[in-house]
Amino acid sequence: MAAIALLGGLAAAPGAHAAPGALFGGDVPCSAQPADGNVRLCEGKTTTWDGETKIDVTVVMPPQPGGGLGEEAPYPLIGLFHGWGGHKIGLEDPRVQHWAEAGYVVFSISDRGWGNSCGKSDPELLSAACTHGYNHLMDDRYEVRDAQYLISVLADEGVAAPKKIGATGVSYGGGMSMALATLRNRTMLPDGELVPWESPEGKEMELAAAVPQWPWTDLAYSLMPNGSTLDT
């Protein structure tokens, strides 16, 4: 995690912020977790960039005895992404509490089409909100843009520093990390056009570090091998 640790030197300027009772415009409530060092856990669904699809989000923030965001905000952010067929990662992963206590915001989502982001376990799977919620196999225009958009909303809300963002994950999550690193300060629209990665309020966004863990290099081939490497 050496590259992620480099974010620790990117100290944010102090500032005054309101108490974060909820994130994403009030969609995702937050509460302190006394059993986990009083880090603040925010969990729930919010609408992504298409204005329709609901994405299941977890955000874990550093402890703040005063109840506000804290003088350290906006915080550097680590995006922690799940593997194939998985779902968002929270305090069940001990790294999450450790990073939050060290001053990072930890962000995780269930990619669209999995978990409660229109996956088979989602009670809202058959609703209109899931019409376009199927998985697109880590498409820059969909799953990757979902992550970029939701991180940028946190920047607008004063939680995340817009250019102090790290990404990591295993397998499919490693693929997300690689995609975010390749795009870096760009985002891809549904027609394939690359545009600057900006928050809804116009903040310039940029990935600072990525640590992909054991990802694939060709997802389509890994799912449907053509047999050319067999000796039969």
- Per-residue model confidence (pLDDT) at position 15: 38
- Per-residue model confidence (pLDDT) at position 217: 77
Beta strand 160-170 with 75-81 is parallel
- Per-residue model confidence (pLDDT) at position 219: 82
- Per-residue model confidence (pLDDT) at position 7: 46
What is the SS3 assignment for 120? coil
- Per-residue model confidence (pLDDT) at position 69: 82
- Enumerate the domain spans of the chain: 2-7+22-216
**pLDDT beneath 50, residues of the chain:** 4, 6-16, 18
- Per-residue model confidence (pLDDT) at position 100: 97
Sign of CA dihedral 119, 197, 28, 215: positive
- Per-residue model confidence (pLDDT) at position 228: 66
User: Smallest Cα–Cα separation from 218: which of 157, 175, 158?
Assistant: 175
Count of CB atoms situated within 10 Å of the CB of 183: 18
CATH code at 2-7+22-216: 3.40.50
Tell me whether residue 161 is exposed, middle or buried, using C-beta atoms within 10 angstroms of its C-beta: 0 to 12, 13 to 18, 19 or more: buried
Look up residue 43 and give its two tokens.
């969990």
- Per-residue model confidence (pLDDT) at position 220: 78
